[in-house]
Amino acid sequence: MESFLVAIDNGSQSTKVLVVDQDGRVHASARVGLRPYDTSVPGRAVHPDDDVWESIATACATALGRFSGDRSRIVGVGLCTIRFCRAYLHEDGTLAEPLLSWMDERVGLPFDANAVGSRDVRWITSSSGYVSHRLTGERRDASGNLQGVWPIDPERWRWSDDPEAYRATGMPREMLFDLRDPGEELGRVTPGASALTGLPEGIPVFATSNDKAVEALGAGAGGEDTVLLSLGTYIAAMTAGPGPEHGAAFWANFAARPAMHLAESHGVRRGMWTVSWLRRLVQPEGSADETMYDLEALLDAEAAAVPPGSDGVAAVLDWLAPADEPWRRGALVGFSGPQGRAHVYRAILEAIALTMADHVDAMTTELGRTPTALIVTGGGAQSATMRRILADVFALPVHRAGIDDAAGLGAAVCAAVGAGVHPDWESAIAAMVRLGDTTRQGEDVAEYRRLREWHRGIRARVAELSRWAVEHGPDPLRSSDPPVAKDAVLGDS
């Protein structure tokens, strides 16, 4: 008998919902854009009002409205949300203040019980814990989504047994939700949540992990010879990890299967976000529905005709500076008159590829591995120009994930295991996950090998210039650069 699973994939810029069958085929989907972060207070970035939950409710209702199958055969929901976010809740589970984005400086710091408004906080949880509570009424969260400043034991995937961990994070155990591993039940959809989302009342909601790990699961990335490049708001590369230990060029992230870990490279903190930034500059009054990305498709086609090196235009993608170098700033350099929007667009894509190639080389060298293929996921994977550039920069075949929303498919895999649709993880992955198109390296490999050194030099010189400019001129962030914990720097989403 055919079974269906609902996959919720909440990211930094939008929420996607899929209705998937036991073979990984998508029968209905929806995407709802998130509102811009509220950054009116320096150093803070919050999702306005209750935007994350509202986007999830709307996307679920829209996807299920498009689903023509038998709703009684929907057997579970896989819930995946953005990592490193933090939710402060009242006793009744409502938000004490808007959900903190991963870009908010407070998520890298201990909870301050004496801060203004903190006395009204009864519960501290992640974005997945908050959404789980809205869907089920239970106070349970996904253990694999607790990267950053949390009192969690990364080996056991459970709250720490060390009292010092709670003192260091400012989070008493009694303020934290119970934890569930990927594939374990978080609770069941309440009547109230069913009315808002269209999800059948009483169906189980299953834990996944953090969004990057779930994306890796849905893309089929698991071998030591393969690197996954996640082209989202935060761009990072991942491969199978040796365990919970960090390295100099990578850090250990929870995987989307219990007790497993991923090695994750350093990344670009505002990667594909910069493409959205360019879109808003060119077309400030865009739609918030699924047509909002039409301009990006046009820019992608225009940029395909621009040669490697973008006729001398280069981007340095420090639109959000790392906390250990807060003076870094983003830049576009090299204009001489004839370049236009397609050059800027391609320069951003090239900056992503060239920067990440250095990060991946550092990670795989430290791990003692030589990758033979690159898998790309996320919104940026839809760009044919991006895939072409990556194949030539990395000099590797670039495989696109079988579906654009690999995190959504990964969430469906977790739900399928939890609901017993497949007997184990291996069976679920084999039945549901597959790769898509392959782009092979072409004639520009040698040129990009030369441009890697060129771009590396530009990044270094722009960093020097940025430091001088911030120290000697006006800068809106100079008064709001407090120290941020290292974990928050390593793990942006």
Q: What is the pLDDT of residues 368-384, one digit of tens each?
A: 999 999 999 988 999 99
Instruction: Say which residues have a Cβ less than 8 Å from residue 472's Cβ, sequence separation at least 6.
Output: none
Contact call for residues 84 and 490 (beta carbons, < 8 A): no
CATH code that applies to domain 4-211? 3.30.420.40
Cα 381 to Cα 400: distance, rounded to the nearest angstrom: 7
Give residue limits of the domains in the chain.
4-211
Q: Report pTM.
A: 0.86
Say how far residue 151 (Cα) sits from the centre of its chain: 22
pLDDT at 478 over 50: yes
Place of tokens 């950054």: 39
pLDDT at 490 over 60: no
pLDDT band per the 50, 70, 90 thresholds, residue 289: low
pLDDT in tens, 435-477: 999 999 999 999 999 999 999 999 999 999 999 999 998 877 6
Read out DSSP for 379-447? GGGG-HHHHHHHHHHHTS-EEEESSS-HHHHHHHHHHHHHHTSSSSHHHHHHHH--EEEEE---TTHHH
Cα 299 to Cα 443: distance, rounded to the nearest angstrom: 22
pLDDT band per the 50, 70, 90 thresholds, residue 288: low
Beta pairing class for 250-254 and 261-265:
antiparallel
Contact call for residues 342 and 305 (beta carbons, < 8 A): yes
pLDDT, averaged across the chain: 92
Contact call for residues 286 and 295 (beta carbons, < 8 A): yes
pLDDT in tens, 58-83: 999 999 999 999 999 999 999 999 99
pLDDT at 479 over 60: no
The amino acid occupying position 432 is: M
Range 135-154 average pLDDT: 96
Range 236-262 average pLDDT: 94
Predicted confidence at residue 287, as pLDDT, reads 58
pLDDT band per the 50, 70, 90 thresholds, residue 286: low
Cα 275 to Cα 131: distance, rounded to the nearest angstrom: 28
Contact call for residues 201 and 64 (beta carbons, < 8 A): no
The amino acid occupying position 46 is: V
pLDDT band per the 50, 70, 90 thresholds, residue 488: very low
Long-range Cβ contact pairs of 476-484 (< 8 A, separation 24 or more):
476/42, 477/42, 477/321, 477/326, 479/42, 480/42, 480/43, 480/105, 481/43, 481/326, 482/43, 482/105, 482/109, 483/323, 484/105, 484/108, 484/109, 484/323
Q: What phi and psi, each to the nearest 5 degrees, are found at residue 484? A: -120, 140
pLDDT in tens, 210-246: 999 999 999 998 789 999 999 988 899 999 999 999 9
pLDDT in tens, 380-438: 999 999 999 999 999 999 999 999 899 999 999 999 999 999 999 999 999 999 999 99
pLDDT in tens, 314-347: 999 999 888 789 899 999 999 998 999 999 999 9
Cβ-based burial of 2 (10 A; exposed 0-12, middle 13-18, buried ≥19): exposed
